[in-house]
Amino acid sequence: MTNQEIQSIKQRFGIIGNAPALNYAIQVAAQVAPTDMTVLITGESGSGKESFSKIIHALSPRKHGQFIAINCGAIPEGTIDSELFGHEKGAFTGANEARKGYFEVTDGGTIFLDEIAEMPLGTQARLLRVLENGEFIRVGSSKVQKTDVRVVAATNVNLLDRVQAGKFREDLYYRLNTVPITVPPLRDRGDDIYLLFRKFTADFSEKHRVKPISLTPEAVRLLTRFRFPGNIRQLKNLAEQISVLELDREVDATRLATYLPAAQTSLLPALVPGGAAGGDFGSYSERDILYRLLFDMRRDMTDLKKVVLELATGNRPATAEAQELLRQNSHLFNNLSEATPYPSPDNPAEAASGYYLPASPAAPLRVDVSAPTPYADDDDLDHTEDISHETEEETLSLDAIEKEMILKALKKHHNKRKYAAQDLGISERTLYRKLKQYDLESA
């Protein structure tokens, strides 16, 4: 598919952006559209997955048939079978007459099943039968009916993780995932962020009859560095807020920062809830990970201090091992001047984001690891920090800290486990399991 054809599809469906990952997703959608293959669209919430389902339907031979978008997570579990497959009169309380389901109504068309991971297991079995044989049975009926419907599904979670957790059928996953399409998150689309912002502000200025918003170069830089966990939906809301509330139609970085949560201004990697199991941190909570990182950092610093102290006092020769330890950790000394926690008055964009890296850092400090640092006399060594007690603190484990926290919470709330669990930020079930694990059930 040529770039001109891709641009034509973008104009037709109102898609803005030139990110390579976005263009590739559009190309796959256009190629699979003329077929009847089932498509699974994956991407974060608010990234525009429904637009791709419309592309697939509009470019398919079914374009004259009906298109229905269904949010599986918004339909109660007790009624989703009736909504999708219909029901007979008297099938359940309130079923005063027979009703056709979506699969019957859209015969010859396309059904878009959003948030497919939220579909109950029983309904998944019914859906699998439709995909395999084109057959379904109304609720309260024994008559098998036929339908010719194309299914396009979408999810913002990892379905394989749901399969392993027993919450999604493996056979249905492989049946849905015939052709996968991945919609990139907004933070990975680079300059597309500013293009979309300009489009949204132009639309809102026309809607509210106000002058369009413009951004200073520093504000543009801050905008494109924002993580946008809510993706396009969040960017659109931001554009509307600024269009309505700002009196000065040229917005600088300082003013823009007031609309952006400070915790999300960095593009640095972040902990993601519900990470895949089996990774380095898959079995740990965020609190456990922080404890683990802090203890590792403290242990490294303690080892480094001991080596420096021994080299300085002459109690340890400058062995290759000692020099290598210093060399590996020399960044702790050499990079001290390369970043400062204080905002730069010359760069309000980064000042508002909460951290600042100067464009031209001062000359960094250097540590010579080839030989121990000379001292004027031995009296200077009397002021060396005593770190012998720190080694003893390293014996504390995560289990010991967790146990101590549980005991403190129980004592604080007079052994009322419900309130202790709330104070610890865990469920009562988790607290009971921890009490059993640490043999604290009598506490």
213 with 179, same domain: the answer is no
Q: How far is CA 212 from CA 196, 204, 217, 407, in A?
A: 14, 8, 16, 58
The reply to whether 49 and 176 lie within a common domain is yes
Q: Among the three residues 264, 298, 317, which one is the final residue of a domain in this structure?
A: 264
Per-residue pLDDT tens over the stretch 204-231: 999 988 888 999 999 999 999 999 999 9
Residues 109-124 have a mean pLDDT of 95
Higher pLDDT, 336 or 227: 227
Q: How far apart are the first and last CA of the chain?
A: 68
Q: Is 399 left (phi over 0), alpha (psi -120 to 50) or beta?
A: alpha
Residue 65 has pLDDT above 50, yes or no: yes
Domain that holds residue 255: 187-264
278 located within any domain = no
- Separation between Cα atoms, residue 79 and residue 88, nearest integer Å: 13
pLDDT of residue 393: 46
What token pair was written down for 317?
């020769």
pTM of the model: 0.60
pLDDT on residue 208: 87
Instruction: Provide the Cα torsion 73, 74, 79, 81; round to 10°.
Output: -50
**In CATH, what number is assigned to the domain containing residue 406?**
1.10.10
How many structural domains does the chain have? 4
Residue 141 above 50 pLDDT? Answer: yes
Q: Would you say residue 58 lies in a domain?
A: yes
Backbone angles phi, psi at 87, to 5 degrees: -150, 160
CATH number of the domain at 260, please: 1.10.8.60
pLDDT at 413: 85
State whether 228 and 340 are in the same domain. no
| 18 & 159 share domain | yes
Q: Find the mean pLDDT for residues 192-196.
A: 95
Would you place residue 373 in the very low, low, confident or very high pLDDT band (cuts 50, 70, 90)?
Answer: very low
The answer, yes or no, to whether residue 4 has pLDDT greater than 70, is yes
242 and 152 in a common domain = no
Does the pLDDT value for residue 167 go beyond 50?
yes
Q: What is the pLDDT of residue 307?
A: 66
Number of residues that this document lists for the chain? 443
My answer on whether 200 and 169 are in the same domain is: no
Q: Are residues 405 and 383 in the same domain?
A: no
- For the segment 299-322, the average pLDDT, to the nearest whole number, is 64
Mean residue pLDDT across the chain: 79
Among candidate residues 38, 131, 115, the one with its CA nearest the CA of residue 75: 115
**Per-residue model confidence as pLDDT tens digits over 236-264:** 999 999 999 888 889 999 999 999 886 55
Residue 149 lies in a domain: yes
Over residues 58-64, the mean pLDDT reads 95
Q: What is the mean pLDDT of residues 63-84?
A: 93
| Domain annotation covers residue 269 | no
Considering the domain architecture, whether residues 175 and 206 belong to the same structural domain is answered as: no
Q: Is the pLDDT of residue 328 over 50?
A: yes
Evaluate whether residue 271 is within a structural domain.
no
pLDDT at residue 279, as a whole number: 42
Q: Which of 3-17, 117-131, 208-222, 400-414 has the lowest mean pLDDT?
A: 400-414
Residue 284 has pLDDT above 80, yes or no: no
Q: What is the DSSP string of 27-85?
A: HHHHHHTTS---EEEE--TTS-HHHHHHHHHHTSTTTTS-EEEEEGGGS-TTTHHHHHH
- Percent of the chain past pLDDT 90, that is, above it, reads 52
Predicted confidence at residue 353, as pLDDT, reads: 43
Helix (H, G, I), strand (E, B) or coil at 166: coil
Q: Is the pLDDT of residue 408 over 50?
A: yes
Q: Please check whether residue 136 is in contact with residue 126, taking contact to mean a CB–CB distance below 8 angstroms.
A: yes
In a domain, 66, yes or no: yes
**402/378 same-domain check:** no
Q: Is residue 429 part of a domain?
A: yes
pLDDT at 335: 47
Amino acid present at 179: V
The answer to whether 350 touches 356, Cβ cutoff 8 Å, is yes
Do residues 231 and 259 both lie within one domain?
A: yes
Tokens standing for residue 128: 């699998």
Q: Is the pLDDT of residue 16 over 60?
A: yes
**Lookup: tokens for 334:** 């050499």
Whether 22 and 134 share a structural domain: yes
Q: Other CB atoms closer than 10 Å to residue 407's CB: what's the count?
A: 14
pLDDT at 359 exceeding the cut of 80 = no
H or E segment at 317?
A: none
**Among residues 277, 206, 274, which one has the least CA distance to residue 244?**
206
> Which residue would you say has higher pLDDT here, 122 or 358?
122
The pLDDT score that the predictor gives to residue 372 is: 46
* 173 lies in some domain: yes
CATH assignment of the domain containing 99 = 3.40.50.300
What are the phi and psi torsion angles at 439 (to 5°)? 55, 50
Q: Render the burial of 252-278: b for 16+ CB within 10 Å, e for the rest.
A: bbebbbebbeeebbeeeeeeeeebeee
Backbone φ/ψ region at 46: left (φ over 0), alpha (ψ -120 to 50), beta? left
Whether residue 217 is found in the same domain as residue 355 = no
